[in-house]
Chains A and B, each alone.
Chain A
Amino acid sequence: MPTKIEKDIVSGQDTTGHEWDGIKELDTPIPRWWWYTLWATVVFAAVYVVLYPAILPGGPTKGLLGWSQYKVLADDQAAATAAQKGMRDKITSAELGAISEDADMLNFAMAGGRAAFGDNCAPCHGSGAQGFVGYPNLNDDEWLWGGKLEDITTTIRYGIRTTHEDSRSSEMPAFGVDEMLDAKQIDAVADYALSLSSSSPAVGPGAAIYEENCVACHGDTGQGDKEQGAPSLKDKVWLYGGDKATVVQTINGSRKGVMPAWAGRLDEATIRSLAVYVHSLGGGK
Chain B
Amino acid sequence: MSGSDSAGDSFFADWVNVYPKSVKGKFRRLKWISLSILLGVYYLGPWLRWDRGDDAPGQALIVDLTSQKAYFFFIEIWAQEVYYFTGVLIIAAISLFFATALAGRVWCGYACPQTVWTDLFMWVERRIEGDRAARMRLDKAPMSFGKAIKKISKHVAWVFIAFATGGAWVFYFNDAPTLAVDILTANASFTIYAIVLSLTGSTYLMAGWAREAVCTYMCPYARFQGAMLDDDSLVVTYDETRGEARGAHKKGTSWEGRGDCIDCNACVAVCPTGIDIRDGLQLECIGCGLCADACNNIMDRVERPHGLIRYDTLRIMNAQAEGKDPKYHLVRPRTIVYTLILLIVCMIMLAALVLRTDTSVNLLRDRNPLFVTLADGSVRNGYTVKILNMKRENRTYHMRLAGVKGARMTVIGHAKTPVEEIRLNVRPDSVSTFRVFVYAAHSALAADSNEMRFVVTEEQSQRIMKHETTFRGPVK
Contacts and interface: CB of A to CB of B under 8 A. Distances in A.
Contacts of A236: 373-377
Interface stretch (A78-86, A123-131, A160-168, A171-179): A123-131
A128 B370 CA distance: 9
A12 B6 contact: yes
Contacts of B374: 140-142, 236-237, 283
Nearest to A237: B375
Contacts of B380: 139-140, 282
B8 to A, nearest CB: 3
A154 to B, nearest CB: 21
Nearest to A32: B3
B20 interface: no
A46 interface: no
B350 to A, nearest CB: 42
Interface in B1-40: 1-9
A275 B1 CA distance: 67
A13 B3 contact: no
A250 interface: no
B68 interface: no
A69 interface: no
Contacts of A142: 374-375
Interface in B379-395: 380, 382
A88 to B, nearest CB: 24
Contacts of A93: none
Interface string A21-40: 00000001111111100000
Given A31-B2, A235-B377, A236-B377, A13 B372 contact: no
A280 interface: yes
B9 A11 contact: yes
B56 interface: no
Contacts of B367: 128
Interface string B411-439: 01000000000000000000000000100
A149 to B, nearest CB: 15
A130 B382 CA distance: 12
A13 B377 contact: no
A139 B372 contact: yes
B412 A280 contact: yes
A282 B375 contact: no
Contacts of A129: 369
Q: Specify the main secondary structure of chain B where it touches its partner.
A: loop
B369 A12 contact: no
A10 interface: yes
A155 interface: no
A10 B369 CA distance: 75
A246 to B, nearest CB: 16
Given A127-B368, A130-B368, A140 B9 contact: no
Contacts of B1: 31, 33
A273 interface: no
Contacts of A28: 4, 6
A232 interface: yes
Band of interface residues on A: 20 to 34
A270 interface: no
A153 interface: no
A282 B8 contact: no
A24 B437 CA distance: 78
A283 B375 CA distance: 10
A31 B375 contact: no
B442 to A, nearest CB: 8
Contact of B368 (A12, A33, A35, A128): A128
A252 interface: no
B2 A137 contact: no
Contacts of B412: 280
Nearest to B11: A11
Contacts of A9: 8
B101 to A, nearest CB: 41
B8 A10 contact: yes
B388 to A, nearest CB: 21
Contacts of B2: 31
A99 B9 CA distance: 79
A8 B6 CA distance: 10
A137 B8 contact: no
B6 A235 contact: no
A128 B4 contact: no
Interface string A215-249: 00000000000000000100111000000000000
Interface string B33-57: 0000000000000000000000000
Contacts of B7: 12
B375 A141 contact: yes
Contact of B369 (A8, A128, A235): A128
Contact of B375 (A11, A13, A35, A140): A140
Contact of B3 (A12, A33, A126, A283): A33
A12 B9 CA distance: 8
Contacts of B4: 11, 13, 28-29, 31
B8 A140 contact: no
Given A128-B368, A130-B369, A139-B369, A11 B6 contact: yes
Interface of A: 8-13, 28-35, 126-130, 137, 139-142, 232, 235-237, 280, 282-283
20 contacts: A11-B8, A12-B8, A13-B6, A28-B6, A29-B3, A31-B2, A33-B1, A127-B368, A128-B367, A129-B369, A130-B368, A130-B372, A139-B372, A140-B372, A140-B373, A140-B380, A235-B376, A235-B377, A237-B373, A282-B372
Interface of B: 1-9, 366-369, 372-377, 380, 382, 412, 437
Given A13-B4, A35-B3, 14 more contacts: A11-B6, A28-B4, A29-B5, A31-B2, A31-B4, A130-B369, A130-B372, A137-B373, A139-B369, A139-B372, A140-B372, A140-B375, A141-B374, A237-B373
